[in-house]
Amino acid sequence: MKKAILLLASVWMLVCMSQCSKPAQHIGDNHVSPILDGDKAINTKISFRIGHSSAGCPGCVPVGGSFVHVDCQGYGNQCMVSSKVTISLTSDGYVAMTTDTFGLTSLDFFYMPDRSLSTGESGNNAYLNIPAQLVERDSATLQFTLTGLFYTNKPEYNNF
């Protein structure tokens, strides 16, 4: 009986470890797509994989003068996150403002790792690149604004 339990536990650990050791680059999981109302784009949805295990993480998100671990934020690919945003061009470049209050997180801050999001346009190979940044929720609108976005014809970031 003990051998059977040990064997089952070993197989389970092997399955879990193989799931955790997938390659870190997930361009297919990282994408931006229009939200359509008929033929008209009314919004944009960004989706990407982020986050890592707290095991071995001494802290990677700067909060209140120290670094802490926050699930589903920062580098890695453990969590799939998505949010509706409006993307606009300002004098400082492209910005994305969330339009769904809690799509990224319910916290008042969000540590966005650098990500390259495929536009999914066939034959176009366009990517929306978002540099790493710590953003704070606007106290009046409760939304986040990601800055420094830019488009390229190949991914700028590795999405790790």
Domain region containing 96: 24-152
Q: Please indicate, yes or no, if residue 5 is contained in any of the structural domains.
A: no
Q: What is the pTM of this model?
A: 0.76
If pLDDT is split at 50, 70 and 90, which confidence band does 11 have? Answer: very low
Single-letter amino acid code for the residue at 64: G
User: Does the pLDDT value for residue 5 go beyond 70?
Assistant: no
Asked, for residue 33, whether it belongs to a domain, the answer is: yes
Q: Would you say residue 136 has pLDDT above 80?
A: yes
Q: What is the pLDDT of residue 18?
A: 32
Q: Is residue 98 part of a domain?
A: yes
Whether 144 maps to a domain, the answer reads yes
**Residue 124 forms part of a structural domain:** yes
What pLDDT shows up at residue 112?
95
Tens digit of each residue's pLDDT (9 = 90 or more) over 77-105? 999 999 999 999 988 889 999 999 899 99
- Write the DSSP string, 69-121: --TT-SSSSSEEEEEEEEEEEETTEEEEEESSTTSS-SSSEEEEPPEEEE---
Residue closest to 55 by CA, chosen among 92, 1, 28, 16: 16
In a domain, 104, yes or no: yes
- Is 17 inside a domain boundary? no
As for how many domains the chain has, the answer is: 1
Q: Give the per-residue pLDDT at 34.
A: 73
φ/ψ (deg, to 5) at 70: -130, 120
Asked whether residue 29 is domain-assigned, the answer is: yes
